[in-house]
Structure 1
Amino acid sequence: MAALELVTFRLARGDAQQFVDANAPINDWLKRQPGFVSRHLAQRDDGSFIDIVFWQSHAAALAASAKMVEEMAQSEAMTMIDPMGLEMSHASIRLSVD
C-alpha cells in the first residue's frame, strides 16, 4: 500500500528561496531511494513549510526516513531547519483521486 511522509517545520536561518535552492542534494538523494515516488514542498502563509513525500509503501518511507537521519543530517537544507518545531509522520494512503 502506498504511503506518504508529512513533515512540518520552520526555518532557523535563511529565507525560503535559499532553502529551496539548498534542497538539490536532498532531492537527488530521495530519487535514489527504493520506493520513492514524488516530493512536494509548500510554504504556508505564516512562513512555515509542509514537505510531503509519496512512497510506494509504508516500509519504504520508514526505511528512507531512518537513512536520511544518518546520511543527510549535515546537508545545507537540513541545517537550515529549526529542529524544535519539526514534526514528522507517516501514513498509509487509503484513497487517491487524480
Structure 2
Amino acid sequence: MAESEAIEIVTFRLVRGVSFADFVEANREVDAWLTLQPGFRSRRIAKEHGACIADVLLWDDEAAARAAMHRLMDELADSPVHALIDQATVTWTVAPIGHKHDIDN
C-alpha cells in the first residue's frame, strides 16, 4: 500500500518583542530550504488571535516530513529564526492524511 500525503503542524509562541511580520521575514531562508526538500508540497504560517503561531506543511508522505524535520535541525541549526521562537511552547505533529476533499479553482 502506498503511503498517503502527510500534514505537519507546528505550533508555538514567538519570544516577547518579535512581531509576526519579523518572523515571516526571518523564514525566507527556511522557505528556500523547504523548496529543495524531497516530498515538500506547501507551507502556510498563521497567527491565531492569542498570538499562537501555526506552521502547517503538506508533504508527499509522513516519511518525507519526518526526514526533513531532522535535516532542518542539522542543516539550519544556526538559522536566526530559531531564536525568535519560544522553544518551551513548541508542539510538533506529523500525521498521514486520512481524508481529503479538494475543490477546483
For the aligned pair, the TM-score class normalised by the smaller chain equals over 0.9
Output one character per residue of 1:32-86: Cα deviation in whole Å (capped at 9) or x when no partner.
0000000010000001100000000111001001111111132122220010000
In structure 1, what is the Cα distance between the partners aligned to 2:77 and 2:13?
Answer: 16
Q: Which runs of 4+ in 1 moved over 2 A?
A: none
TM normalised by structure 1 equals 0.96
Matched position secondary structure for 1:86: strand
Report how far residue 27 of structure 1 moved: 0.2
Does residue 1:67 correspond to 2:51, yes or no? no
Aligned residue type for 1:9: F
In structure 1, what is the Cα distance between the partners aligned to 2:35 and 2:82?
Answer: 17
Output one character per residue of 1:8-36: Cα deviation in whole Å (capped at 9) or x when no partner.
00001411111111110000000000000
Q: Which runs of 5+ in 2 are unaligned?
A: none
Does residue 1:77 correspond to 2:81, yes or no? yes
RMSD: 0.9
Does residue 1:88 correspond to 2:105, yes or no? no
Which structure features the higher share of helix residues?
1
Give the percent of matched residue pairs that are identical in Structure 1 and Structure 2. Answer: 37
Which structure features the higher share of strand residues?
2
Match of 2:10 in 1: 7
Query: Whose Rg is larger?
Result: 2
| Corresponding residue pairs, total | 98
